[in-house]
A and B are shown apart, each in its own frame.
Chain A
Amino acid sequence: METEVLARIQFAFTVAFHYIYPPLSIGLGLLMVIFESIYLRTRNPEYHALAKFWTKIFALTFGIGVVTGIVMEFEFGTNWAVYSRYVGDVFGSALAAEGIFAFALESGFLGVLLFGWNRVKPWVHLVATVGVFLGSMFSAIWIVVANSWQQTPAGFHIVGEGLQARAEITDFWAMVFNPSSVDRLLHVWLGAFLAGAFLVLSVHAYYLLKGRFMQISQKAFKIALVVATIFSLGQLLTGHHSADGVAKNQPAKLAALEGHFEASAPADMYLLGWVDKDKQTVTGIKVPGGLSYLLEYDTEVPVTGLNAFPEDERPPQVNAVFQFYHIMVAIGMALILLTLLACYQWGRGRLFQKRWLLWAFVFAVLLPQIANQAGWFAAEMGRQPWVVYGLLRTSDAFSQSVTENQILFSLILFFLVYALLLVLFLYLLHKKIHHGPYDEEPGEGRPRTREIAEMLTKN
């Protein structure tokens, strides 16, 4: 028992930390491609400066993403041996495809993206930028496919019994397009775009507030705002689709998301609340029949509740699942409001006069991050007690031969190393942001075209 808990804590900690970075890389990748493409079309040096500046920050997120990602790959083997044996045949091909198609593409072109500004033609450089961006998108495909297979297994059969039992692939495409993978992939991609766009918004809003890099920041802010608005709204669609899928494929999880206990009754939707698992009650603000309505467009339709499942097949942490899910949804709504508000002000031509709005954007950078994390916690804790839904229990899946002391040792080690990593990341991020897209003259509040031109002719 103790080993299982430690193994879960270690996995949750390392994967949650890892997941700060890949969404930023994917999202920044998109904006870098946009900036660099505009530069190639217009030859306006400001966009070149933007592309270079964000590439530097991208390098930081990408580097940490890679090393913390390697940890994830090996942790399946070190801490989840039974799981690895069980899923290897199915899951392995997705992981191999990730390595060979996605990760190699990313890392192969990364050298050119970071160090090739002066070595290759501008269009070749853009190809490298697009390559890295696509690579990071592909990475997400294979990882989400693998995880979705754990949520909604398909295209396999079970061979063997007991410790020797394992899933074997019967249909590769059925495995890849298992019932939840497309919805969840879109949801993950959009979450990543939002993480990147809101970082760009935050940094340039800060410059605008401080009166630095004004022209360039206005341009960057508008582009990122368009991206953020489109995808905040898009997230409503992908989120809705995902929830529909959960209702069909993982009814116990859906019931946990809204704290719905009665085996078969119309289900409410909570704006916020607190679940008491023992008393089977939820205290909070609700829309009666809201969940039923969202699923079937009828507030009276019964929804399968937690009590319809045997005790040992219900997610044990209902309140946590409920809270994580509601945090994610609330943030999603907040992002839509914020971006629409900004667009409205833009339409009135007052976007950059509203200082409070810019300040809101400075801090809004944390929101997509929290939502991404909360969403994954809801998805993974909602799947419990299964590691592969309906097939393999988490309590059977960990490495039996690894001892508590070993995990404690590695957990403490990871904790220290990641704490250091986070401090360094924030420090260097701050430093890069403080320095900005190009060198300013002391006391100079506005960029000078000559200076930008000089910087570019040096290349």
Chain B
Amino acid sequence: METFLGIDYPTWWFLVVGALFSGYAILDGFDFGAGAWHLFFKKEKSRRIALNAVGPVWDGNEVWLVIGGGALFAGFPVMYATFFSSLYIPFMLFLVFIIFRAVAIEFRSKEPMVWWRKTWDTTYSISSIMLAFLLGVVLGNVLQGIQIGPDYQYAGSGFFEFLNPYALLTGATTLSLFMMHGAIFLLLKTEGQLYDKIQSLLRRGMVFFMVSFGITTLYTLLYIPHLSDDFQQEPLLFVIPLLTFLSIANVPRLATRKKFRLAFLFSSLTISFLLVLVAVELYPVLLRSSLNPAYDITVYNAASSTKSLKIMMVIVAIGAPLVAGYTLFVYRTFRGKVKLDETSY
């Protein structure tokens, strides 16, 4: 198989998709997280500030989902096809909540009536919670493996198969991680009373995350042994969980010292490290068949042709700096605390 810098093309693309998903989780993670806290703010002005903190960027953040989905389709069409058709219901719910959330953000400020704004506030918050949760549920199913039969066809049945205990746990963990991450983001964007309030919410968020993360880790080690196999065979890989734990530990340490910029960096790193952990545990499998390892979807049997992957690497090499460039430009333009003006939501 052809390689580039000693790594074969399907593996390169695995890294690209991983980087995109990680970017997506960090970016949409903080705005889902911010949305999940929304109903904890009681005053109209607080809600507007919290909403406008994500106002100029949430749409750009969702671009990462589109690019990530496109990258999966392009590089691993087999994975894309089986992944989305097997987890049909959670993905359909995800799409519906994406729509509800966008609608809520856009429409909330368009009418002054209290009932109108309350309705959209609730929609916004519940959608944010459900989106974070569903991402975790999907991740849990991927980690655990799903019933893939021959010809990459999903062989399971039942409407609610995706809702199993492990998926619920990973769902809760993802939600709590994003809530922690989102609260830190909001602290960078707010001041005064709201800032104080979010500080106390962040403390609760951190506890929520530690607890759910602890339970999930324990459950994984006890009941899903295949996920820790790689680490027993290759002790060097223990560096990754170690870094993950260090990064997690840094978040409360920095938060109590009110160094929220650094705390945000470390909550972002935590998300990345957790995904690296997932990637190491899975690779070269992309989607594990719980029926028979022969039916596993791997980076090799799912990949597009080398020719196609090469073309896409060129596209990424040209496109990624551009995307990074204007992402930075947007975040610079809207840096600092939120100031409401007539163009705000």
Asked if B107 contacts A424 (CB within 8 A), the reply is: yes
Known: A78-B84, A410-B88. A104 touches B307 (CB 8 A): no
Chain A residue at minimal CB-CB distance from B102: A67
Cβ contacts A120-144/B at 8 Å (1 or 0 each): 1000000000010000000000000
Chain B residue at minimal CB-CB distance from A420: B103
- Complexed CA–CA distance, A402 and B84 (Å): 10
- Complexed CA–CA distance, A120 and B329 (Å): 11
Interface secondary structure of B, over-half rule? helix
Distance (whole angstroms) from the CB of A338 to the closest CB of chain B: 33
Asked if B151 contacts A164 (CB within 8 A), the reply is: yes
Cβ contacts B82-114/A at 8 Å (1 or 0 each): 111110110110011011101100110010000
Known: A101-B319, A101-B322, A111-B56. A78 touches B92 (CB 8 A): yes
Cβ contacts B314-345/A at 8 Å (1 or 0 each): 01100110110011011001100000010110
Cβ contacts B145-167/A at 8 Å (1 or 0 each): 00000011111010100000000
| A residues near B1, Cβ cutoff 8 Å | none
Cβ contacts B177-193/A at 8 Å (1 or 0 each): 00000000000000000
For B99, give its contact among A76, A80, A82, A417 (CB under 8 Å): A417
Asked if B78 contacts A85 (CB within 8 A), the reply is: yes
For A66, give its contact among B84, B102, B312, B327 (CB under 8 Å): B102
Asked if B344 contacts A85 (CB within 8 A), the reply is: no
- Is B65 in contact with chain A by the CB < 8 A criterion? yes
| A residues near B92, Cβ cutoff 8 Å | 78, 406, 409-410, 413
Counting contact residues on chain B (CB < 8 A from A), the size range is 35 or more
- Is A309 in contact with chain B by the CB < 8 A criterion? no
Asked if B103 contacts A66 (CB within 8 A), the reply is: no
- Is A108 in contact with chain B by the CB < 8 A criterion? yes
The segment from B34-42, B68-76, B246-254 found at the interface with A is B68-76
| B residues near A410, Cβ cutoff 8 Å | 88-89, 92
Distance (whole angstroms) from the CB of B158 to the closest CB of chain A: 10
Q: Point out which of A68, A79, A99 has the most chain B C-beta atoms below 10 A from its C-beta.
A: A99
- Is A389 in contact with chain B by the CB < 8 A criterion? no
- Complexed CA–CA distance, A87 and B73 (Å): 9
Asked if B304 contacts A100 (CB within 8 A), the reply is: no
Asked if A115 contacts B85 (CB within 8 A), the reply is: no
Cβ contacts A81-100/B at 8 Å (1 or 0 each): 11011011111110111111
Interface secondary structure of A, over-half rule? helix
- Is A168 in contact with chain B by the CB < 8 A criterion? yes
- Complexed CA–CA distance, A234 and B91 (Å): 41
Asked if B99 contacts A118 (CB within 8 A), the reply is: no
Q: Total interface residues on A, using CB and 8 Å?
A: 76
Asked if A77 contacts B83 (CB within 8 A), the reply is: yes
- Complexed CA–CA distance, A93 and B307 (Å): 11
Known: A63-B106, A168-B304, A409-B92. A85 touches B319 (CB 8 A): no
For B316, give its contact among A71, A100, A405 (CB under 8 Å): A100
| A residues near B323, Cβ cutoff 8 Å | 100, 104, 108
For A107, give its contact among B63, B73, B334 (CB under 8 Å): B63
Distance (whole angstroms) from the CB of A109 to the closest CB of chain B: 7
For B74, give its contact among A59, A93, A118, A417 (CB under 8 Å): A93
- Complexed CA–CA distance, A111 and B15 (Å): 29
- Is A401 in contact with chain B by the CB < 8 A criterion? yes
Enumerate A343-397 residues with CB–CB distance to B below 8 Å.
none
Q: Point out which of B60, B74, B75, B329 has the most chain A C-beta atoms below 10 A from its C-beta.
A: B74
- Is A215 in contact with chain B by the CB < 8 A criterion? no
| A residues near B63, Cβ cutoff 8 Å | 99, 103-104, 107-108
| B residues near A105, Cβ cutoff 8 Å | 322, 326
Known: A89-B304, A100-B316, A164-B151. A71 touches B99 (CB 8 A): yes
Asked if B77 contacts A93 (CB within 8 A), the reply is: no
Distance (whole angstroms) from the CB of B271 to the closest CB of chain A: 20
- Complexed CA–CA distance, A369 and B63 (Å): 26
| A residues near B316, Cβ cutoff 8 Å | 96, 100
For A103, give its contact among B67, B75, B312, B330 (CB under 8 Å): B67
| B residues near A63, Cβ cutoff 8 Å | 59, 102-103, 106
Distance (whole angstroms) from the CB of A298 to the closest CB of chain B: 43
| A residues near B284, Cβ cutoff 8 Å | none
Asked if B70 contacts A96 (CB within 8 A), the reply is: yes
- Complexed CA–CA distance, A84 and B78 (Å): 8
In the complex, 26 of the A-B residue pairs with CB atoms within 8 angstroms, ordered by the A residue number, are A67-B98, A73-B73, A74-B91, A77-B80, A77-B91, A79-B85, A81-B85, A85-B152, A88-B80, A88-B81, A88-B304, A91-B73, A95-B73, A95-B74, A100-B322, A107-B59, A111-B334, A112-B56, A118-B343, A168-B304, A168-B307, A399-B85, A401-B153, A406-B92, A409-B92, A410-B92
Beyond A85-B77, A115-B344, 9 additional contacts (C-beta under 8 Å) are A70-B95, A71-B99, A77-B73, A88-B76, A88-B78, A100-B322, A168-B304, A399-B85, A406-B159
Chain B residues at the A interface, C-beta cutoff of 8 Å:
55-57, 59-60, 62-63, 65-67, 69-71, 73-78, 80-86, 88-89, 91-92, 95-96, 98-100, 102-103, 106-107, 110, 151-155, 157, 159, 304-305, 307-308, 311-312, 315-316, 319-320, 322-323, 326-327, 329-330, 333-334, 341, 343-344
